[in-house]
Amino acid sequence: MPGRGKIQIFSGRSSEEYATEVLQNLRNLNEYTSKFVDLAGEKQVKLFSNGEMEVEILTSVRKKDIYIIQHTSNRNCQMLSTHENKIELYHLVDALKRSHAGSITVFEPFISCSRSDRAYARNSSGLAIHFKTLVSIGANHIITYQIHSEKSKMMVDPVTAYIDDIPLYPVIQRYILKEFVKTRDYFHDVVHNNWAICSVDAGGEKVARNFADIFSCQLIIANKRRSYSKTNTIEGVSLLTDESIEGKTVWVIDDMIDTAGSIVELLKALKEKKPAQVNVAVVHPVLSGPGISRLIELHDLKYLDNLMVCDTIWISDQMKKDLPFMQIIPTAPLAADIIYKTNIGESLSVYYDPVNPYHVLNY
């Protein structure tokens, strides 16, 4: 029996399509969840002429286990800004708290301010502000996917709330194994000897090394020289590896791709080493500014063969048309399972377990 009361799911306007997919997957999860009724909570967002907002909850949520699904990226089907999405999320939490919800979990697949996680001198920390605001107005649980820095979780005081950062690298690993490797023979004969995993920068070495260990293949560490006079700008990249990558398939792994500046310089450096194929796999497809046009150019120049992304941020039909070489890895089934396990009090540790290729591959 559920330990946190009846589940009810609300969505911010930026994530309505994703929330609908989660609801469908939750109903189809097992025999118990198939009996769930009235899962979707109703709300009304009121916008005033002076720019202010108000959210009204139209469903009784008293003592219920509430989940708010909302990413705060400015790329969404409603064309809402990052700031509008944040304010709507804060209003949703406040309205639900005032409506006597039993528990309030903010499920934020992508936290747009996740890179603003440090204060160097007199600058603000967007992530600290975001977490403090959510907790202070009533959220007692935050769930997200692959936050930019593991240390960021320390910003949430477990006395007042707790955070679950669910890694999506295992999801990507399983996808690559199923769609690109497929069989154990190919894994042994081709992947071990003719694949290489490359980090985007030195900070991504741990992740790249994990992938290289899973696939038992060559590791490449990229060291990028960032411009500190201009944001989102890379001055150059050097590659560190003991073996040649000529004629091999290279996989570049990162947690997100934004303007694609890092990828451009890295793929140029890789091209000089004459690999047979270069694929990029990332969790969050931020793709702001020139990001999409840069990827199109990289593909046209034969620098980039395949792009894998998760659906943590809305991807329009036009983007799919512009990037036919992009494959989208669905995460709504995972979100449904996370919500179910959270509701019944089951451990989430299974999501942190390392991937065993032999449990995924065919004979």
3-state secondary structure of 275: coil
The pLDDT-based confidence of 230 (bands split at 50, 70, 90) is low
Q: Of 94, 92, 134, nearest to 111 (Cα)?
A: 134
Bridge-based pairing state of the strands 65-69 and 103-108: parallel
Question: Three-state SS for 199?
Answer: strand
Q: How many residues make up the chain in this entry?
A: 363
Phi/psi of residue 166, nearest 5 degrees: -85, 120
Q: Which residues contact 230 (CB under 8 A, 6 or more apart)?
A: none
| Residue 113, both tokens | 């301010």
Q: Give per-residue pLDDT as tens, 232-251.
A: 566 678 899 989 999 999 99
Which pLDDT tens digit goes with each residue over 197-214? 999 988 899 999 999 999
- Per-residue confidence (pLDDT) for residue 203, from 0 to 100: 85
How confident is residue 165, by pLDDT bands cut at 50, 70 and 90?
very high
Query: What does the pLDDT average to over 4-22?
Result: 95
Q: For residues 139 and 68, what is the distance between their CA atoms, to the nearest angstrom?
A: 10
Write down all domains in the chain, each with its CATH number in brackets: 7-168+332-352 (3.40.50.2020), 169-329 (3.40.50.2020)
Q: Which two tokens stand for residue 46?
A: 């009121």
296: exposed, middle or buried (Cβ count in 10 Å: 0-12, 13-18, 19+): middle
Range name among 33-37, 50-54, 127-131 with the lowest pLDDT average = 33-37
Query: pTM for the full model?
Result: 0.92
